[in-house]
Structure 1
Amino acid sequence: RNLFKLKGGHLIEFEPSVYRRIIGKKYSMIEIIQKYTRCRIKVGKNGRIWIDGDADGIEKVLAAISMIEREAITFGLTDRIEEFLKKDAKDVR
C-alpha cells in the first residue's frame, strides 16, 4: 500500500460514483485540473479529495469537481472542463 501523510490543504467530499470521471482516462482529467489550477490534488475512491494550493486555484478545483458531478454522463466533458479552466488561467505550466 502507498500510504503517506497529507499536510495542510483541504478535504472535500464528492459522489464516489464519479471517481473515474474525476480521474479520467489515463489520468487525463485530473492532470488538466492540476495544470490549470496549480493545485496538488489526491483523489480517493472513498469519495474524498485532498486539495492544496492558493485560494483561487482551490475555488477553480471545486467548480470543476462540481461540474464533473453534474455532467458525469455527458460526452466531451474533459474538453469542456479544460475550456472552463482555460478561461482565466494565467500561468500554465
Structure 2
Amino acid sequence: MGQMMTKGLAILSEKTTIATNALKQPFKSSPFRRELREKFEEMTKKRQQTKIDGDGRIPSSSNFKSPPPPPPKTTVPPPKHKKE
C-alpha cells in the first residue's frame, strides 16, 4: 500500500510540475508583464533621482537623529575683589 501511495504522489508531483511550467510560459512574454516591468523601472528611476536631488523632503523620524543636547553649563562666579 505504501508503494502505491508513493507512486501516486510521484505522478501527482510530476503533473503539478508540468502544469506549473505550462502556466509560467505564456506569462513570461505577455504584454501585461512587459508593461509592469516598464512601470517598475520608471518608478525606480524616479526614486533614485529624488534620492540624488534631495527633493526637499523631510527625513522620517526613524532616520533623523536630533543633535545631541549641549553639555550642561557650569557657571563659575567671578572672583570678588577684597575691599581695602
Normalised TM-score (structure 2): 0.24
- Higher alpha-carbon Rg: 2
Greater relative CO, 1 or 2 (CA 8 Å, sep 6+)? 1
Question: Comparing both structures, which one devotes a greater share of its residues to helix?
Answer: 2
Normalised TM-score (structure 1): 0.22
